[in-house]
Amino acid sequence: MILQEKYKSYQIILASNSPRRKQFLTDLGLHFTIKPANVNEEYPSFLKGKDIALYIAKQKASAFNNLNENDLVITCDTIVCIDDVVLGKPENKADAKKMLLQLSGTTHNVISAVCIKSNQKEKLFHDETQVTFNTLNPLDIDYYIEAFKPFDKAGAYGIQEWIGLIGIEKINGSYTNVVGMPMEKLYNELIKW
């Protein structure tokens, strides 16, 4: 495959603890190490939508300053936006339920921003996907939260999980973006790199 050959001499670093992002890079056939970027994910209050995700992805990349010649860092941040309100990761069950009730019967945007960084250059890009939920039964929400514990997911849900199977009416855009990393765009950027 093209990517494996192109990046065989690189030390790729995935700056994320996300098991979904790890699986995506594994599925691409890339060899990489995981070194989460321990940065404050707060952002200036004047930022909106995609600019929030872009800011955080860049902040994560900035945590890697002393890169070797063959190092390549990949960072990502995903947010859920509904009516200009950003839904991050829920803090507890009540917060998760509040988020899912807010998303129920509506359309929202999932925005992921990615930063690819070496010691010579940096590329920052994003993708947006519209997701429409059916009206969710509160008992289904309770079951999902209890069984799947979506506390590591923006908007308190994983499209690839049970709630996505029974609750999502349609998506407009990249499925992998909603899972947590826009793989189609990442692949193309890595090919061009």
Active site residues: 77
- Specify the pairing of strand 71-82 against strand 32-34: unpaired
d(CA 70, CA 8): 10
How long, in residues, is the chain?
Answer: 193
Q: Distance (Å, rounded) from C-alpha 67 to C-alpha 63?
A: 10
Give me the DSSP letters along 21-73: HHHHHHHTT--EEE----------TT--THHHHHHHHHHHHHT--S--TTEEE
The token pair at 45 is 């209050």
The two tokens of residue 22 are 């790890």
Contact 73, 32 (CB under 8 A): no
Distance CA 7, CA 3 (A): 6
